[in-house]
Amino acid sequence: LSSAFYKMNHKRRGICLIISNLNFSKARENPGQEDFTDRKGTKKDEESLYKVFTMLGFQVDTKEDLEGNEIIQTINSYRERNHEENDCFICCILSHGDKGIIYGTDGQSVPIRDLTSCFCRTQCSTLNGKPKLFFIQACQGKAHQQLVPLQTDACNASVGRRFSMCLIPDEPDFLLGMATTFRYVSYRDPYHGSWYIQSLCKQLHKSYQSNEDIISILTKVNQELSQKRAKNINVTQMSEPWTTLTRKLVFY
């Protein structure tokens, strides 16, 4: 029976890295990127993630307003750490995005695959056989103009590269939780945070000590998102988990 679950009995639960981008004033200086709005509400997401993953026993590290190269450097610095005594690794990225990419505060695009691949077997051996989870609050397509008081995490900047559907390495033990599906925007309330992150934190908190696995939790997130509607307009949002997990992952 135990082989059906990931071992969560190391000395430490592990690190939860939060990268949260709010201020995109530098990106707006670039020709063609004047539409990069500041991501009001991301602080609320930061706080909710910090609270729930601290409750679950993680060491939570928060990095704010990183440019594209700084995102890559930060991810690499965590790849180089020794995770031998840790159960798993979690990375949450809150930023603007488009198909297969997230943006630094300077408007530089960073392929999601480049970030997740940093933790594959050959790159980070101390996480071999352990769950590596990525939760990304960013659009995966173009925003349409909406006459609603919600904001989106899409920008009109051109991707300029062919999108690959494979955003995680072709090997076991990865989970990528995307706020929205390919080509679609994700919604963020400037006062209450994003639909996806707030629902994720709510469901993680509700399932505390219930022995519920992460896939079941993410299914409940989708159930909740499917019932939400943007104010004054009939639009909704569906999150999308991509996984190569080979066992059930239970935090409790």
The residue assigned the tokens 């033990």 is 173
Q: For Cα atoms 32, 38, 41, give the angle at the middle one, nearest 5 degrees.
A: 145
What is the distance, to the nearest Å, from the Cα of residue 118 to the centroid of all Cα atoms in its chain?
15
Report the interhelical angle of 195-206 vs 214-226 (nearest 10°): 130
- Helix, strand and coil content of the chain, in percent to the nearest 5, comes to 25, 25, 50
**Residue 156: how many CB atoms within 10 A of its CB?**
12
Backbone region of residue 109 per phi and psi (left: phi > 0; alpha: psi in -120 to 50; beta: other values): beta
Pair of tokens at residue 230: 């943007």
Give the catalytic positions in this structure.
Answer: 96, 139
d(Cα 87, Cα 159) in Å, to the nearest integer? 36
Question: What is the b/e burial string over 19-34, where b = at least 16 CB atoms within 10 angstroms of the residue's CB?
Answer: bbbbebebbeeeeebe
